[in-house]
Amino acid sequence: MKVITPEELEVKIEKGEKLHIIDVREPEEIAEGMVPGAKHIPMMQIPERMTELDKDKEYIFICRSGNRSGQVCGFLEGHGYKVVNMIGGMLEWTGELEWNEQNS
């Protein structure tokens, strides 16, 4: 499974790279802020919503510490999706945050 650090992701965002970022934390967790541009799909909804994802695109998954996003990556990788886990999760994110309920 591919991984990315919070610092590496921040650089990609600052460069303006077109990224597909999905935050799998629970709603009360995302209320603390999300990585800019991230879409919110709670972990438990991934199996029923994975048809919303394009197998030709690479997705970066984020959670609080990197554990849940790692589980999601393993699950989706097994179904043929291109996935990257942000290790360390939001606990190690030092970049900007956005608060946007529209990302759900």
Q: Are strands 39-40 and 21-23 parallel, antiparallel or unpaired?
A: parallel
What does the DSSP 8-state code read for residue 66? S
The pTM score is: 0.94
List, edge to edge, every strand of the sheet that includes 39-40: 2-4, 82-86, 58-62, 21-23, 39-40
Catalytically annotated residue among 22, 63, 83, 90: 63
Per-residue pLDDT in tens (0 to 9) along the chain, 104 residues: 999 999 999 999 999 999 999 999 999 999 999 999 999 999 999 999 999 999 999 999 999 999 999 999 999 999 999 999 999 999 999 999 998 654 44
**Whether residue 73 lies in the annotated active site:** no
Any idea where the domains of the chain sit in the sequence? 2-95
Decide yes or no: CATH 3.40.250.10 for domain 2-95. yes
Q: Are 88 and 66 in contact (CB under 8 A)?
A: yes
